[in-house]
Amino acid sequence: MQKLRTIKGTHDILPWDIHKWQKIESVLRDVFASYVCKEIRTPVFESTNLFSRGVGEFSDIVSKEMYSFQDKGGDSLTLRPELTASVARSYIQHNYQQESPLHKLWYFGPLFRQERPQAGRQRQFYQYGIELIGSPFPEADAEAIDIACSVYRKLGLKNWELHINSIGSIEARKVYMEVLRDSLKAHKGELCETCQDRYDGNILRLFDCKNPGCQEVMKEHAPSILDHLSEEDKQHFEQVKKLLDAAGIDYTINPALVRGLDYYTRTTFEIKGTALGAQDALCGGGRYDKLISDLDGPDTPAVGFAAGVERLVIAMEAEELFNADQSFVDLYIAPMDIACLEGISPLVHSLRDKGFRVHLELMRRSVKAMMRDANRQNARWVAVVGEQELQSGNLRLKNMQENIQQEINLNEIENILKK
Ligand code: HAM
C-alpha cells in the first residue's frame, strides 16, 4: 500500500522550523502596525467567478492554475489563487467606502495554484500582502512600495532589488499594445508557440516568456511602454519615483515589468531576491484602479502587493538570518512516579498561570533519561520530584546552564525562575 504523504507541491511547516515563520510573522505585524494597516481575513474558497472576472480569463492563474471544483449544490468554487480579488470582493460586499474613504489592509494566508512545483514554487504557498484602497494618488503607490521594502529591511535581508514600471492607464495601454503588435509582426515566426498565441490574445505576456529566443526578439524589437504613456500617467510615475527617492529607496526602472495579472493600471513593481534561483520574485504588486468597479463595486482606486513567505524563508536561510530554535523551558519537572506527579500538580498549575513555561514529564522515563531530555529541550531548570521532596517542601533544583544544584522551598521557586 502506498504511504500517505503530502500532495505534490504542498508541504508541512515542521515544528522545528516554525520559529522561522513566527519570526517573520512577528516582524510583519510590527511593520504593518507602524504603517497603521489593519488585518483582513477572507475565506480560503470563493466563487470561481470572482477570480475569472477579477484576475482575468487570459492570465495563467485563471486559464491554467486554479483549483476549481463543483460543490454538492452545483456551484463552481475555487481555492483562492491570490488575495487581491477576495479583498476587493469584501470591500464591495461590506461597503467599506461608507466607513472611510481610505482603507489600509494587510493579510497573511495560504493560496493555491496548480503550477509545476520546483524550489520556491509550491501548489499551496503562503503570502502576506497589503492593499491600500481609496487613494488615486502616487503617494499611495510609494507607500505600498515602502511597506514592501520595509519588511526586508527590518528582517535584515540584503540580497534583493526593487524593480518598478508604469504600464499606464487602460486607454494608453490599448494604444501601446497595437504599437507592440505592429513592431513584432515581422518577427512573429521567431517566437515560441505559446508566445505566438499570446501575440493574438494578450500580447503583454510576451515580456514574461523565459525562452531565450523570445527574450531576444523582445529586447531587439519591443518598444518601451514608458514611451507610450499619457501625460497624466507620466506625471503619476514621476511623482512615485520622487517619493521613493525622498524615502531613500533604491530602484531599477524595468519597462518589461508588466506582471501576469490583468487588473493592473499604471505602477507595477517587483522585488527580486538576487540570491534566489529561477523563482526569484519575492514580492509583486501594483496599482489596480479598475478592479473594484469591474467587480460591480464603486469606482475605487487601489494599490497593493503580495509577497511569498516560502521564498522569503529560503532567502533568509541563505543569508543565515535565523537563530537556532530559541524556544526553551523555564522549568522541567521530573517526577519519580505518578504519585509525585499528582503531588506537584498544584505548583505546576500556579507557575503556568503566571506565564512560566513548565514541562511536565509524560513518558514515565528514568531520571537519567529525563535529564537528557531536559538538556535537549534547553531547559533552564530541572526539578526532580520524589516523595521526600514533596514531604519536606524543598525541591532539588538544577540549573542546567551552570550545572549547579540547589535546595529550594516550593514557595521560593517562582522567585528563582524570575531571575
Ligand atoms: P503574484 O505576483 O502572483 O501577485 O504573487 C506575489 C508573490 O507570491 C510572488 O512574488 C511570489 O513571491 C509568491 N508566489 C506566487 N506564486 C507562488 C508559488 N506558486 N509558490 C510560492 N510562492 C509564490 C499576486 O498574487 C497579486 N495579488 C499581488 C498584488 C496585491 N497586487 C496588488 N495587490
SS (H, E, C) the chain: CCCCCCCCCCCCCCCCCHHHHHHHHHHHHHHHHHCCCEECCCCCEEEHHHHHHHCCCCCHHHHHHCEEEECCCCCEEEECCCCHHHHHHHHHHCCHHHHCCCEEEEEEEEEECCCCCECCECCEEEEEEEEEECCCCHHHHHHHHHHHHHHHHHHCCCCEEEEEEECCCHHHHHHHHHHHHHHHHHHHHHCCHHHHHHHHCCHHHHHHCCCHHHHHHHHHHCCCHHHHCCHHHHHHHHHHHHHHHHCCCCCEECCCCCCCCCCCCCEEEEEEECCCCCCCEEEEEEECCCHHHHCCCCCCCEEEEEEEHHHHHHHHHHCCCCCCCCCCCCEEEEECCHHHHHHHHHHHHHHHHCCCCEEECCCCCCHHHHHHHHHHCCCCEEEEECHHHHHHCEEEEEECCCCEEEEEEHHHHHHHHHC
Average pLDDT over residues 12-38: 97
Please state the atom number of ligand 1 nearest to the C-alpha of residue 61: 3
pLDDT band at 287 (very low <50, low <70, confident <90, very high): very high
pLDDT of residue 141: 98
Write down all domains in the chain, each with its CATH number in brackets.
Answer: 18-169+230-318 (3.30.930.10), 329-418 (3.40.50.800)
Angle, CA 213 vertex, CA 208 and CA 219 arms, to 5°: 65
Phi, psi of 258 (to 5 degrees): -105, -15
From 47-51, 71-75, 197-201, the region with the lowest mean pLDDT: 197-201
Percentage above 90 pLDDT, the chain: 90
The strands making up 281-287's β-sheet, listed across from edge to edge, are 38-39, 103-112, 124-133, 302-308, 281-287, 267-273, 160-166, 252-253
User: Helices 18-34 and 309-318, interaxial angle, to 10°?
Assistant: 110
Rounded CA gap, 23 and 154, in Å?
A: 11
Query: Which residue's CA is the nearest one to ligand 1's atom 30?
Result: 305
Statement: residue 73 has pLDDT above 80:
yes
Please state the atom number of ligand 1 nearest to the C-alpha of residue 81: 25
Ligand 1: which of 50, 127, 272, 291 to mutate, most ligand atoms within 8 Å of CB?
Answer: 127
Q: Which residue has the higher pLDDT, 275 or 75?
A: 75
pLDDT of residue 310: 97
Q: How far is the CA of 395 from the centre of ligand 1 (A)?
A: 55
Q: Is 122 in the pocket of ligand 1 (CB under 6 A)?
A: yes
pLDDT of residue 364: 96
Question: pLDDT tens across 167-204, in order?
Answer: 999 999 999 999 999 999 999 999 999 899 889 888 99
Hey, what's the cell of 146? Answer: 515602502
pLDDT band at 299 (very low <50, low <70, confident <90, very high): very high
Statement: residue 283 has pLDDT above 70:
yes
pLDDT of residue 352: 98
pLDDT of residue 208: 87
pLDDT of residue 261: 87
Statement: residue 419 has pLDDT above 90:
no
Q: Kindly report the pTM of this predicted structure.
A: 0.95
Q: Is 258 in the pocket of ligand 1 (CB under 6 A)?
A: no
Q: How far is the CA of 1 from the centre of ligand 1 (A)?
A: 37
Q: Is the dihedral angle over the CA atoms 386, 389, 393, 395 positive or is it negative?
A: negative
Pairing between strand 67-70 and 331-335?
Answer: unpaired
Rounded CA gap, 410 and 419, in Å?
A: 16
Statement: residue 327 has pLDDT above 70:
no
Statement: residue 1 has pLDDT above 80:
no
Question: pLDDT tens across 364-411, in order?
Answer: 999 999 999 999 999 999 999 999 999 999 999 999 989 999 999 999
Q: Is 267 in the pocket of ligand 1 (CB under 6 A)?
A: no
Question: pLDDT tens across 216-228, in order?
Answer: 999 999 999 999 9
Angle, CA 369 vertex, CA 363 and CA 370 arms, to 5°: 65
